């Protein structure tokens, strides 16, 4: 499994604007990401203390994770976030999973 982490930072004065944009992004991203093979999960989060946002996803293989590099809705939304001052860390990291804790319901 691969854990993919994308992180962006922004000015604290833009927190509400970034949070609203991140929340609205699910309308475009959920259908696009769920259509990709190999995705186990995807999380989008924001933190007021560090003025940062993250996307964390879990993929079957590195090939599956790298589909995100060219996903058109993701690329378009990255531009929207940059317009409000989000600076993304590059490169995006894809981590080989060494161990996991299963989730039981």
Domains of the chain: 2-96 (3.30.70.100)
Q: What per-residue confidence (pLDDT) applies to 103?
A: 80
DSSP conformation class of 56 = E
Q: What per-residue confidence (pLDDT) applies to 104?
A: 75
Spell out where 60-97 has E strands: 87-88, 93-96
Q: What per-residue confidence (pLDDT) applies to 19?
A: 98
pLDDT profile of the chain (105 residues), mean per 10: 98 98 96 97 97 98 97 96 97 96 80
Q: What per-residue confidence (pLDDT) applies to 102?
A: 84
Residues 27, 33, 6, 94: what is their CA dihedral angle, to the nearest 10 degrees? 170
* C-alpha R_g of the chain: 14
Cα 30 from Cα 39, distance rounded (Å): 11
């Amino acid at each position: 499994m691969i854990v993919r982490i994308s992180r962006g930072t922004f000015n604290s004065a833009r927190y509400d604007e970034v949070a609203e944009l991140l929340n609205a992004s699910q309308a475009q991203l959920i259908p696009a990401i769920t259509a990709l093979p190999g995705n186990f999960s995807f999380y989008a989060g924001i933190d007021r203390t560090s003025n940062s946002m993250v996307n964390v996803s879990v993929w079957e293989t590195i090939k599956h994770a790298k589909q995100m590099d060219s996903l058109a809705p993701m690329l378009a939304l990255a531009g929207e976030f940059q317009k409000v001052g989000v600076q993304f860390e590059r490169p995006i990291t894809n981590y080989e999973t060494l161990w996991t804790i299963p989730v039981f319901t």
